[in-house]
Amino acid sequence: MIDTIVRLTNVRAASDPMFFADADPKKHRCLVHVIKNLGKHPVTGAPMTQSYTVIFWAKYAEMAAIMIEKGRQVTIEGVLRTFNKELGTGPDGKRMFNKSTTVQARRFELGADSTKSLIARVNAKIAEGKAAGLIPVQMTVGGDYLLAVVRPKHRPFNPAEVQSTGKFGFAKVSMGKGQGFAGAVNVPATVSVPTKTKEQIQAEIAALNSQLSAGAAVAGAGVVDPFAAGA
């Protein structure tokens, strides 16, 4: 049988996992409902989502039960499986079935925590710090304030912003061929150093030697020998 492999990228757990234990650890099963946000409807503006039911088995079931909480972001790779549950016989005398398609997880990677869980964690640490005397009890700021994030929105490229900040958003901006990046200091590729002839260099060395000799003579004239007679 050729499996249909799917990859659910950055979906979030819509609810806490449901673990179904078995006497045989290899038959442990954990069911997780996940959702994928698809943006907003272009006409109504209503949020659009796609939901999936993911099933983890054996050791993966144990890991999912422990690691995936409601709101947790996760990327899952698995295979599609469709099951038919018989509902009985219909008015026409034919058997009726309820088809259910699930993703059987083969591997998964945890993503970011939900904002709600992070706020709860920060609030718990603040309470712990107050109890230990590390944080003033009169402090009223909580995790919702400390973790508030304003997400950037799309805006057209604006040269004035580049002139002001040297960047567009987080990006360095190339000013065109041969001009480098905005805000960068352009260092000349070559530095012009005046050249001297051999005779000029020899003359400068001779002048320096004469200055050194004259300085040594002046210094020697002022030296007193403490062991000389009459000193």
The residue that leads in pLDDT, 225 or 74, is: 74
Least confident window among 4-18, 100-114, 142-156, 205-219: 205-219
Helix, strand, or coil here: 92? coil
Boundaries of CATH 2.40.50.140 in the chain?
5-87+99-112
* Closest among 66, 72, 153, 74 to 115, alpha carbons compared: 72
Supply the pLDDT for residue 16. Answer: 92
One-letter amino acid identity for 54? V
pLDDT above 80: residue 230: no
Least confident window among 38-42, 70-74, 167-171, 205-209: 205-209
pLDDT above 80: residue 125: yes
pLDDT above 60: residue 231: no
pLDDT above 90: residue 4: no
Least confident window among 14-23, 106-115, 206-215: 206-215
Supply the pLDDT for residue 223. Answer: 54
User: DSSP letter string over 9-57?
Assistant: EEEEESS--EEE--SSGGG-EEEEEEEEEEEE-TTT--EEEEEEEEEEE
**Alpha-carbon gap, residue 84 to 51, rounded angstroms:** 19
CATH number of the domain at 5-87+99-112, out of 3.40.50.150, 2.40.50.140, 2.60.98.20, 2.60.120.260? 2.40.50.140
pLDDT above 80: residue 220: no
Pair 34, 74: CB distance under 8 Å: yes
